[in-house]
Structure 1
Amino acid sequence: MFEYHGWVTVRERADAEDDEDFAVEQARLWRLVEGIEERAREFAGHGLVDVRWINGEPFLHLGGFSNHTYPGILAFFREVGVRAPGSYGLLYVHDEEDRVHADGFVVHRMVRGQVSVHEDAHLSPCIPVLEDPWLS
């Protein structure tokens, strides 16, 4: 099984906004988010891939559960960071086909658009934290 849950605050850049150029910056951000939305539509039917504007800020939410590893969602998460290098967020992944982390979650952490991978300490190991072991 392959389970994933995540979110990204989409930001074009990490520096402070310049109020004098706010309209220009917003127009660029709208175009950038439109590109992310277009790519997100390619994942329709594979799980939750939702881009929304909330209080003037764009957010991406991801979630799904499939029978096998789905590397496309990991590539898309990294792509968002490349397209919007000021973005930050987390993607939790439990991949039973991962030989190293089959019994736990891995956290893909995006900071300033760069993604790093970390072992999870909150939901792992899945057995016994989330589920009881099989009784023989």
Structure 2
Amino acid sequence: MFEYHGWINVLETAEAEDDDIRVVEARLREIADGIQRRIDDLASPYLLDLRWMNGSLFLHLGGQPNHPAPSLLDLFREVGERAPGSYGLLHVRDDEDGAHGNDVRVLRMVRGRVTEHTEALLSPCVPVLEDPFAG
């Protein structure tokens, strides 16, 4: 089982913007178009929602396929490459991961760069989230 839940605030840059707001929005719309094309290419049956909220662009993703979905992890990283001011979190549980099969992992995006950590609030999965197998 592979479970993932996350979000990204998509930002072109982490710098304060002095440019005309229309120019900034136009650049971000170009980034949004590229991300949306990538989402459409994935054709995932799970949650991949790119939307504008109060003038800001957000990507929400979640699902639970039977096996790991490297393309979704690639998408998370790709957003940071396309929009290096972006930040967000992606929580992943992959019981097929030999090194971290009993952990919830969190991919942390800050200024477009992704690092991976163990989520201390939800790990180890057994016994924090589930009881040990009794039989």
TM-score after normalising by structure 2:
0.96
Q: Provide the aligned length of Structure 1 versus Structure 2.
A: 135
Q: How far apart, CA to CA, are the structure 2 residues paired with 1:46 and 1:118?
A: 27
Q: Please provide the CA RMSD for this pair.
A: 1.0
Aligned counterpart, 1:2? 2
Q: Which runs of 5+ in 2 are unaligned?
A: none
Q: TM-score, normalised by structure 1?
A: 0.95
The percentage of counterpart residues that share the same residue type is 56
Q: In structure 1, what residue type is equivalent to 2:22? A: A
Q: Which residue does the alignment assign to 1:37?
A: 36
Residue in 1 aligned with 2:16?
Answer: 16
SS of the residue corresponding to residue 42 of structure 1 reads helix
- The offset of 1:134, in angstroms, is 1.4
What secondary structure sits across from 1:14 in the alignment?
A: coil
Any idea what SS the aligned residue of 1:124 has? coil
Counterpart position of 2:92: 93
Contact 1:104-1:124 within 8 A present in 2 as well: yes
- SS of aligned partner of 2:107: strand
Runs of 4+ aligned residues of structure 1 deviating over 3 Å after TM superposition are: none
Which blocks of at least 5 consecutive residues in structure 1 are unaligned? none
Counterpart-to-counterpart distance in 2, 1:26 and 1:112? 18
In structure 2, distance between residues paired with 1:64 and 1:83: 23
- Segment of structure 1 superposing worse, 20-29 or 95-104: 20-29
